[in-house]
Amino acid sequence: MDNTIIKLENIGMVYKTGDVYYEALKDINLDIPKGEFVSIMGASGSGKSTLMNILGCLDKPASGRYYLEGRDVSKLSMNELADIRNKTIGFVFQGFNLIQRLSVIENIELPLYYAGIGQEEAKQMAEEALELVDVTGKNSSFPNQISGGEQQRIAIARAIVNNASIIMADEPTGNLDSVRSHDIMNFLKKTNEERGVTIILVTHETDIASYSKRHITLKDGRIIKSDLEALTSQ
């Protein structure tokens, strides 16, 4: 199974609020081949973000095993997970999540600094990434000086700048109008097709999910559908 980039075995996630335990994910089994464009759908509270956080190594599963590029990462320390996030995973969030105090170019450079890449090289790599997402002349602008669509492109540039092999996008179009949403989706699709980056997308809009080839549907913390078929309206 050389081609499998992500393999989940019986993943479970439990949240504790006060004395109450809540099972946000139950017995998740999932194989994602390298270069796939997968969308995760489901009702609000079905566990999409929870799954995404585990896949993105932001959080550790309560049970089960997670193999990322063949390596069991479910028991790694937070520092080892930080290194994986830095080198393997890029994030695109609903709220863009750019650091307001840093300029556009500095935001894109951020993962490179934590990777220990020198200032000159980092700057060059960031500029290349910025070109890929078609934003020009905004290098030294600050996030609040550019549009939401542009901010999300900057976030995509930040996600791919360190040559991540996976992009985790949690409702990346949630804060954008439909024109800009499709624009962003085209960028993600292009990144998937041209650079072979595996993309995992969380959305609850079918037309957004239709950019992907494979659709996974969650309900109450379980995968109820995982197919390559065309979407049936929910």
Partner 1 sequence: MKFPFLLDLKSAFKTFTRNKIRSFLTTLGIIIGVASVIATISIGQGASAEIQNTINSMGSNMLVILPGTTALGGVRTGFGTVSTLTLNDAKAIRKDCPAVKASAANIRMGEQVIWRGNNWGTTVVGTGSEFTYIRKWPVAKGTFFDRQQVGSAANVAVIGQTAASELFGLINPVGHIILIKHIPFKVIGLLSRKGFNAFGQDEDDIVVIPVTTMMQKIAGITWVNTIFVSAVSSTDTTLAENQITALLRQRHRTQPHQPNDFYIRNLTEIAQTANTSSTTFTILLAAIAAVSLLVGGIGIMNIMLVSVTERTKEIGIRMAVGATKKDILKQFLIESAILSLFGGIIGIIAGAGISGLISTLTPLKTIVTVEPILISIIFSLCVGIFFGFYPAYKASQMNPVEALRYE
Ligand X SMILES: Nc1ncnc2c1ncn2[C@@H]1O[C@H](COP(=O)(O)OP(=O)(O)OP(=O)(O)O)[C@@H](O)[C@H]1O
3-state secondary structure 49-74: HHHHHHHCCCCCCCEEEEEECCEECC
Among 39, 49, 74, 151, binds ligand X (CB under 6 A): 49
Site for ligand X in 164-223 (CB under 6 A): 204
Residue partners of 90: CB distance under 8 A and separation at least 6: 111, 156, 158, 159, 160, 161, 162, 164, 166, 167, 168, 197
What residue 86 binds from partner 1, ligand X, Mg ion, none (CB within 5 to 8 A, per partner kind)? partner 1
Rg (CA), the chain: 17
- List the one residue out of 80, 131, 90, 126 whose CA is nearest residue 107: 126
Least spacing, CB of residue 40 vs ligand X, in Å: 8
Among 21, 22, 71, 234, binds ligand X (CB under 6 A): 22
Q: Is 44 in the site for ligand X (CB under 6 A)?
A: yes
- 36 or 171, CB closer to ligand X? 171
Distance CA 96, CA 113 (A): 20
Letters for 64-83 (x = contact with partner 1 by CB under 8 A, - = none) are --------------xx--xx
- 40 or 197, CB closer to ligand X? 40
- 9 or 23, CB closer to Mg ion? 23
Least spacing, CB of residue 142 vs ligand X, in Å: 28
Among 49, 88, 151, 212, binds Mg ion (CB under 5 A): 49
Residues in binding contact with ligand X, number by CB under 6 A = 13
Instruction: Give the C-alpha distances (Å, rounded to integers) separating 19 from 32, 60, 93, 118.
Output: 35, 21, 31, 48
- 93 or 162, CB closer to ligand X? 93
- List the one residue out of 140, 174, 166 whose CA is nearest residue 154: 140
Q: Which residues would be at the binding site for ligand X (CB under 6 A)?
A: 15, 17, 22, 24, 42, 44-50, 204
